[in-house]
């Protein structure tokens, strides 16, 4: 099936500052996020609940407050993919991914010490399109985390288990 331009998706700019030590990478925002121009806008995605629990703060209401809380706690947010073709929101439907320029990004933000991948698609795409050799040179730790999506699947964990695994990033921001 030939993909049309209406299926071409573009990611957002990164959320980062000079305080950021951990970079969380998703794959590509879903339809609801793209429509609202907000990372993790789908209320069924547990990203904001999990990250709030991990950094030990109450879940904030507005998107601006959520972004501020991440930045104040040393967490940056971006996506592996710059563009892709996808009908709908499922990672399994992604075709022709183009990745962001991580070498330039990490040269600019040299204070990043760990990268946490939000799910398998983000990790696998990074591994195949970017690779981890650059991290060997920079001593950046990479961590494959369970997806914060609440989509049912074969290896989906409950939120308690996800929070426990995501808590691994705390040692890099404290």
Alpha carbon distances (Å) from 75 to 32, 90, 169: 23, 25, 9
How many alpha carbons lie under 13 Å from residue 82 in its C-beta half-sphere?
Answer: 8
Pull the structure tokens for residue 150.
């609440």
Q: Annotated catalytic, 158?
A: no
Nearest Cα residue to 68 out of 132, 29, 15, 107: 15
Catalytic residue, candidates 19, 37, 45, 158 = 45
Alpha carbon distances (Å) from 33 to 49, 135, 151, 161: 16, 29, 16, 25
Catalytic residues: 45
């Amino acid at each position: 099936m030939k993909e049309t331009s209406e299926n071409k998706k573009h990611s957002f700019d990164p959320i980062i500052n000079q305080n950021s030590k951990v970079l969380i990478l998703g794959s590509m925002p879903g339809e609801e996020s793209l429509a609202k121009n907000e990372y993790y806008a789908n209320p069924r995605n547990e990203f904001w609940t999990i990250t709030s629990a991990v950094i030990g703060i109450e879940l904030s209401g507005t998107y601006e407050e959520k972004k501020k809380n991440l930045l104040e706690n040393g967490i940056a947010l971006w996506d592996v993919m710059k563009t892709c073709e996808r009908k709908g929101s499922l990672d399994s439907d992604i075709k022709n991914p183009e990745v962001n320029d991580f070498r330039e990004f990490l040269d600019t933000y040299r204070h990043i010490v760990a990268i946490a991948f939000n799910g398998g698609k983000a990790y696998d795409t990074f591994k195949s399109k970017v690779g981890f050799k650059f991290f060997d040179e920079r001593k950046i730790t990479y961590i494959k985390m369970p997806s914060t999506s609440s989509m049912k699947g074969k290896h989906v964990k409950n939120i308690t288990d996800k929070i426990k695994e995501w808590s691994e990033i705390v040692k890099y921001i404290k």
